[in-house]
Structure formats: C-alpha cells, structure tokens
Structure 1
Amino acid sequence: MPTQTEWETMAANLLKAELKRKGVTYAQLVEKLAEIGVAEREVNVRNKLSRGKFTAAFFLQCLQAIEVHDLRL
C-alpha cells in the first residue's frame, strides 16, 4: 500500500504529465487558472507541484483550466 508521500507524488506526476501533454507551462497554467477565477502565482504553482502538496480541488481546477476531459490512471 502506497504511503501518503507516494500518493502525493503520484498526483503531482499525473498533473505534470497532463501539463506536458498539453504543452502548458506553469506561467500559462497560472493564466488559464485566472481565466476560470482561480488566483495563483507561478511560484506557488511550482512549489505545489514540486512538493506534491495540493488539494483535490486545486488538482481539478488545473485539469479544468487546461481542458483535460479524460484522465487515465
């Protein structure tokens, strides 16, 4: 059974992979989040993804912002 840290790493890697697949940088993600009403700074996004410490809501906001409609686990 994965540890909490392993789950966090998996979530971060999944989001990073989707960003890469869509060709979206962290700066572009911040812009896209702003378009849906989510205020974030690039440095905060970078830290969240590098640490793997973010909420499920933030994860879903990012997926919505970059228009990910299907997610393969």
Structure 2
Amino acid sequence: MTLVKSSPPPKAQPRKDAPINAEYQEKAKALLRDMIEGDYAMLAEKLNAMGIEITARGLENKISRGGFSAAFLLQCRDALGLQVIR
C-alpha cells in the first residue's frame, strides 16, 4: 500500500479582508458618527458607565478604523438610549 501525498489545502483568508467589507466598514463608521454627532467624549463616558472601559481617544480610533463588532455598535446604541438604528 502506497500513500499518495496530496497538496495542503489553500490558506484561508480572513473574511474581514474581503474587498466588499471596506464598503460596509465605511457605512458602519458613518452610522456611528451620525449617532454620536462627533461627541466622542460623551459616548466614552456613557460606555464607561455601562462598564465598557474606553477613552474618548480610544473610541475615536476604534471608529476611524471601522472594524468594530456589531456587538460594539449595539452597545453604543444602548449607551445613547437609541431604540432603532436608521
């Protein structure tokens, strides 16, 4: 019995690197910026009150990268007292 070596499977690419995600990251950033109306310090204070430790600068960086989770977006919505995401 001889064993045949097969080639390894292709290396998986992270979905976050898919080009289509750039469009949606921009939409998420714009949505969150609209929700806070540019007041990062206010949102940071409200998130901290919920137990989510983040500075205004850290929040600004996170939003500018646009790669935040849906959970973070919902946490921001709740911190702001918003019921519906437009």
TM-score scaled by structure 1? 0.83
Whether 1:3 aligns to 2:17 is: no
Number of residue pairs aligned between Structure 1 and Structure 2:
68
**What is the distance in 1 between the residues matched to 2:47 and 2:22?**
26
**What is the distance in 1 between the residues matched to 2:67 and 2:59?**
10
For 2:29, the equivalent position in structure 1 comes to 12
- Name structure 2 gaps, 5 residues minimum: 1-18
For 2:47, the equivalent position in structure 1 comes to 33
Higher normalized helix content (fraction of residues): 1
- Name structure 1 gaps, 5 residues minimum: none
Whether 1:71 aligns to 2:85 is: yes
CA deviation digits over 1:16-66, x for unaligned, max 9?
11112xxx6101111000111111111211011112121111111111101
TM-score scaled by structure 2? 0.72
State the 4+ residue runs in structure 1 displaced beyond 2 angstroms. none
For 2:14, the equivalent position in structure 1 comes to none
| Larger relative contact order (CA 8 Å, sep ≥ 6) | 1
Letter aligned with residue 8 of structure 1: Q
Whether 1:62 aligns to 2:79 is: no
For 2:11, the equivalent position in structure 1 comes to none
Aligned-partner SS, 2:67: coil
Instruction: Give RMSD over aligned pairs.
Output: 1.5
